[in-house]
With several copies, the nearest count.
Chain A
């Protein structure tokens, strides 16, 4: 894992409030699992049908019928339950999941999210992303600020097919932490060593910056 990813995950772990129900999307968010202390009173939901999962300890044999939605063998913590896919998504659609972390291809100023399809290039399916993005109480996006070609992923308007409209609350990238507000994208934290001008340069959306409030991470 790169240093940038580590910084994103370390910052993301601070978003979790004890007592919450949290879902970790496939990809980078799944790794956040390992950044949550085991004694943190949080139930991690995985949409394949478990609430209250934790990473397997190094010395635990895998239970081949206990996986998370990404396919990793997991274990459960006290207070866990298992259930079918209808119950699992009822939980999601009824906004019983407090906080979800998800990756993104594109996010925009309005909080629109695109992370499931690149027409003609990538369309393995939808999975649970649409429901989670549309209905979770708080959606935090974890992604690199720019794609591997250097193109901005934080845009004025998404161009790819949307996962859900106006669903994102906060975006955490290697370069900044940004909140979606009625006024636009407000920068909360900026990466150590990065200037606001550099951040604006790497972003295709208007950024609202209040220097007096700006944190570093």
Chain B
């Protein structure tokens, strides 16, 4: 239990709670919503043998791309790593164990944990190789795949605004996996561009209520790193 007034922390202290070998959910779909500052702090502190759960592998040289290049990730549970050629190469060399899930099932496996369930029944992927790797059950005359919930020791999430109790608001497409991971991990570390006093966020505007957040740190607004992506609209 983290008491409400203990949640607002220096970034070094928050990340120092993560041990070697931890399983860590990392928010973000591409750059938006990726907690770059928390990842960089993790890189600096040296934790290794990590299992990361993230939609994608970012791109070479940014975000979890750095952790993968530094050899700190032993297992990546993801949906698509097509934008990170280094991660694909590490996978092909057998240095990075990669588990791929359809994106919506990955989201729901995390959400299932966040809701305190043990898994869910789906028809997604029936008739494909996805179905061959999971247990099935007959119910009401049809065959359903059982997708177990995906829990983690830690989640690193990114928000636009927060208060020091850990209430979070996401912006634009930076929401993605963040609110799901914030519910699914045992310890949730949130970074936000702005952390204000409780009462500064309208109750209806809060996307992740503070009950799910263990620690909250303030980070500098959008760095150039988030803009230096190859893609243009």
A–B contact (CB under 8 angstroms): yes
A residues lining the B interface (CB < 8 Å): 17-21, 41-43, 45-52, 55-56, 62-74, 76-94, 96-98, 123-131, 134-135, 137, 161-165
B residues lining the A interface (CB < 8 Å): 1, 3-6, 29-33, 55-56, 78-83, 88, 100-105, 107-108, 111, 114-117, 123-130, 160, 163, 165, 167, 170-180, 183, 197-199, 201, 203-204, 206-207, 209-212, 222, 226-227, 229, 231-233
Smallest CB-CB separation from A50: which chain B residue?
B173
**A residues near B171, Cβ cutoff 8 Å:** 65, 82
**A residues near B173, Cβ cutoff 8 Å:** 46, 48-50, 65-67, 82
Closest CB of chain B to A78's CB: distance in Å?
3
Task: Say yes or no: B82 contacts A124, CB within 8 Å.
Answer: yes
**B residues near A80, Cβ cutoff 8 Å:** 203
Closest CB of chain A to B25's CB: distance in Å?
12
Task: Say yes or no: B209 contacts A65, CB within 8 Å.
Answer: no
Known: A79-B199, A128-B103. A90 touches B172 (CB 8 A): no
Task: Say yes or no: B203 contacts A50, CB within 8 Å.
Answer: yes
Known: A50-B203, A86-B108. A125 touches B80 (CB 8 A): yes
**A residues near B231, Cβ cutoff 8 Å:** 67, 70-73
Task: Say yes or no: B78 contacts A125, CB within 8 Å.
Answer: yes
Closest CB of chain B to A99's CB: distance in Å?
9
Question: Which 10 residue pairs across A and B have the least CB separation, nearest first?
Answer: A19-B3, A93-B116, A78-B199, A89-B104, A79-B198, A125-B80, A124-B82, A73-B233, A72-B233, A165-B127
* Cα(A184)–Cα(B13), bound, Å: 41
* Cα(A44)–Cα(B79), bound, Å: 22
**A residues near B102, Cβ cutoff 8 Å:** 126-131
* Cα(A71)–Cα(B232), bound, Å: 8
**A residues near B179, Cβ cutoff 8 Å:** 84, 86
Task: Say yes or no: B128 contacts A161, CB within 8 Å.
Answer: yes
Known: A21-B211, A48-B173, A85-B55. A65 touches B165 (CB 8 A): no
**A residues near B130, Cβ cutoff 8 Å:** 126, 130
Find A97's partner among B3, B33, B82, B211 (CB 8 Å cutoff).
B211
Smallest CB-CB separation from A74: which chain B residue?
B233
* Cα(A75)–Cα(B123), bound, Å: 34
Known: A43-B210, A81-B209. A164 touches B203 (CB 8 A): no
Task: Say yes or no: A125 contacts B82, CB within 8 Å.
Answer: yes
**A residues near B114, Cβ cutoff 8 Å:** 90, 94
